[in-house]
Amino acid sequence: MTASTVAALLAALCVPLVVHLERARHDPAPALVRAQDPGPAAGRDQQHFAVTWAASAERLGAGPAEGSYRLVVRTSVGGDALRIRLTNAFGEHPVTFASVYAGLRRQGAELVAGSNRRLTFGGQPSVTVAAGEMILSDPLTGELAPESDLVVSLHVIGALGMRSGHVEALQTSYASAGDHAAEEAATNWTATVKSWYWLDAVSVRTSTAVSSVVVLGDSIADGLNSGRDTNRRWPDYLARRLRAAPDSPVRGVANEGISGNKVLAGGAGPAALRRFDRDVLSHPGVDTVVVHEGINDIKAHTGVTVDDLTAGYRQLVDRAHAAGRCVVGATVMAYQGWPEYDDAGEAVRQSVNDWIRHSGVFDAVVDFDVITRSPDDPRRLEPLFDSGDHLHPNDRGMQAMADAVDLAVLRCDR
């Protein structure tokens, strides 16, 4: 994505918008309900948009040229004027979103009665997105509660070649043939999918006193080996902690983890250095980013040195600071027992962690290594936190990681 595209998106998100709240037609579970996030009251001139959910786009395989997708995502911060972002970042051809709806999930693919609402783009009910581009929807009237199971239903035509989306959602979503996006019943949504297609971000309008944090990470942030359909990735646990902390102005969490991702080189998605603008700086309302990447650079046996990796971290920090964001650095966790482990990689990991802790480059540090390693062997994960592959934490480990984050360091006055 070009710098001009990012700038245009940021400008669009900051335009003041006048909307009228609508009550949904059915109680006690209306579609867009009054947000429950505590926070100071604010007039329209004291509000901004903040990202409430995100998932980094990757290159997905080709699929049917026409079809419908019902995508289930878990929001974090609540607010009004919901907007979604659709991406064709890796597409080879334009793709048309013929109808797009947003509602609340009741169960499975079934939506809360009266909740499904059409989204528009520039006032139009359909939009075509060119290859390599992305687009924001118009704001939807009404308010969305925090920690909602939001359902975005897309009817797509002309989807030729590679698709864009997030490979491992750890969330069951649904697909069907034909246009069923407007339907609230689950009748026609009989196929299940494990990826999020084309949808890569959701934002809401909230008080300027409220902000979001982005987690830039790899498979550990992505939640690999955590419970499916349970929202037990460590950023999910962090979002719940923030919601329960009445004094924290940080409410939103955007999880930009990609399994297999590296800081320096592409492969499983673009390298962190390449996707930083799209996955961090383009999101509204973000004051702080947590960088938790590096293990894939180290264990891949590509000859990456301590100097290589720390230079990459410096670039991320410099770019964040130039944009007025703060950066929390997270240490690289133990991985002895993983098939790619070797002593040379371990030496790099230890030196990189020493640099993260003591260089002073980051605005703050969260020491995931100390929290999750075995007290008997610091090269290994604590067995109680090990999912079994000696690299990825289980649900208990994910919660321990989130609990280790000092919520105060997520605030940023830069």
Q: What is the pLDDT of residues 280-303, one digit of tens each?
A: 999 999 999 999 999 999 998 889
Q: Count each helix (H run) and each strand (E run) in the chain, helices first.
A: 9, 21
Q: Please give the share of the chain, as a percent, with pLDDT higher than 90.
A: 86
CB 347 within 8 A of CB 310: no
Q: Residue 267 — pLDDT band, cuts 50, 70, 90?
A: confident
Q: Residue 8 — pLDDT band, cuts 50, 70, 90?
A: very low
Q: Residue for token digits 């308010």?
A: 143
Does 350 have pLDDT greater than 90?
yes
Q: How many CB atoms lie within 10 A of CB 201?
A: 27
At 306 the pLDDT is: 98
At 21 the pLDDT is: 26
Does 143 have pLDDT greater than 50?
yes
DSSP annotation of 254: E
At 44 the pLDDT is: 64
Whether the ω angle into residue 284 lies within 30 degrees of 0, i.e. cis, is: no
Q: Residue 337 — pLDDT band, cuts 50, 70, 90?
A: very high
Q: In one letter, which amino acid is 148? A: S
Q: Residue 414 — pLDDT band, cuts 50, 70, 90?
A: low
Domains of the chain as residue ranges with CATH: 21-201 (2.60.120), 210-410 (3.40.50.1110)
Mean pLDDT is lowest, of 6-15, 248-257, 347-356, 400-409, for 6-15
At 410 the pLDDT is: 97
SS (H, E, C) 14-83: CCCCCCCCCCCCCCCCCCCCCCCCCCCCCCHHHEEEEEEEECCCEEEEECCCCEEEEEEEECCCCEEEEE
At 301 the pLDDT is: 86
Q: In one letter, which amino acid is 258? A: I
Phi/psi-derived region of residue 282, left when phi > 0, alpha when psi is between -120 and 50, beta in every other case: alpha
At 413 the pLDDT is: 81
At 30 the pLDDT is: 39
At 32 the pLDDT is: 53
At 300 the pLDDT is: 85
| The token pair that represents 37 in the structure block | 């996030």
Does 11 have pLDDT greater than 50?
no
The pLDDT tens digits for 300-323 are 888 999 999 999 999 999 999 999
At 45 the pLDDT is: 73
Phi, psi angle pair for 147, to nearest 5°: 55, 50
* Angle at 286 (CA atoms; ends 283, 292), nearest 5 degrees: 90
Query: What is the rounded average pLDDT of the residues 104-109?
Result: 98
Query: What is the rounded average pLDDT of the residues 102-128?
Result: 97
Does 147 have pLDDT greater than 50?
yes
At 255 the pLDDT is: 98
Query: What is the rounded average pLDDT of the residues 362-375?
Result: 98
At 358 the pLDDT is: 98
41 compared with 162, residue with greater pLDDT: 162
Picking from 128, 166, 171, 164, the residue whose alpha carbon sits closest to that of residue 149 is: 171
Does 194 have pLDDT greater than 70?
yes
Identify the sign of the CA torsion 345, 317, 357, 389. Answer: negative
At 268 the pLDDT is: 82
Query: What is the rounded average pLDDT of the residues 254-264?
Result: 97
Tell me the C-alpha distance between 2 and 74, whole Å: 29
Tell me the C-alpha distance between 389 and 225, whole Å: 9
297 CB-contact burial (10 Å; exposed 0-12 / middle 13-18 / buried 19+): buried
Q: How high does pLDDT run on average in the chain? A: 90
Tell me the C-alpha distance between 77 and 207, whole Å: 11
Does 12 have pLDDT greater than 70?
no
The pLDDT tens digits for 14-73 are 333 222 223 233 333 334 543 344 444 455 679 999 999 999 999 999 999 999 999 999
The pLDDT tens digits for 118-130 are 999 999 999 999 9
